[in-house]
Structure 1
C-alpha cells in the first residue's frame, strides 16, 4: 500500500530559479581614474543589474596591498572595461592595469569618453581593440545608454532584461 507523503516543504523549482538568478553571466574589471567615478558608478550599477559580476577598486579593496588585490581580480575576469578619459590616460594605475591584462585572455573593451586625440597612451596601446566611442555625445544620459547597450552587445548580454531603477 503506497504511503502518502506530505507536500515538500521547499519548492525545488523556486530554489532552482533563485540559484539561476545568482549565477553571473560573466565578469568584468572596471579600469578608471577616480575623477571619473560618478560615470563609472552608473555603468557599474547597470552591469550589476544585467547580472555581471563586476570588480571595481573601491569594492574589492580590503586589507593588504592594493596592487595584489587588483591583480588577483584581473586574473579572474573575462572582460576589462577601460574608461578612457584624459585623467585615466595619465594615471599610472590605469596604465598598469591595462598592461597587466594585455598579454592575458582578458578581453579589453576601451570606452573613449574624451576625444581619442587626447589619449596618446591609450590610443597607442588599445588601437587594435574594438572601442566604444562616446566622446561626441553631449547628453550624459544618452552616452551612458550608448555605453551600456554596446557593452551588452559585446559581452553577449540581453539588454532587454535591464529595468532602470524607479
Structure 2
C-alpha cells in the first residue's frame, strides 16, 4: 500500500479588525534632507614622467566644494559641485595627478545655506569621496602610476568658488 503525499495548506487567515489610526502630520525638521542627483561630470589625468632619482615623493589629496546653488521653483533643491584630486610630485619634476569633478543635488527644506554646506560636506566626505577613491584606483592602474590608496575620507573639504 502506498501512502498519499500530504499537502500542507496554510491556515485560513483570520480577519483582523481594522484599528482606527489617526494620521499625524509629519513635521519637516532642519535635518530633513536627501541626496537627489549624483554624477561624475569631468575627469582630468596629468601624466608626469618621473626619473630614476630616489628623491622624496609627495602625495596630496584635495577636496574642494563650490558654494551650493539653490535651484528649482520651491527652492528646496541645492546643487553642489565638488572637485577631488590626488597628486604625486617630486621636487623639480612634473607631477602626476587624477582629478574628477562631481555634481550632486540635495533636497532640503527650511535650511540655511550654512546648514546645506554642512550636509554637503558630509556627502563629499562619504559618497563622493568613495566614488573618487574607486575611480582613481582604476585610473592609476591603467596609467601604471603608483598611487597609494586614498584615505577613508578627506582631511579637509575647502569651500570656495570653483567655477566663477
TM interval, short-chain normalised:
under 0.3
The structure, 1 or 2, with the larger RCO (C-alpha pairs under 8 Å, 6+ apart) is 2
Taking structure 1 as the reference length, the TM-score comes to: 0.23
Larger radius of gyration: 2
Structure ranking higher in helix proportion: 1
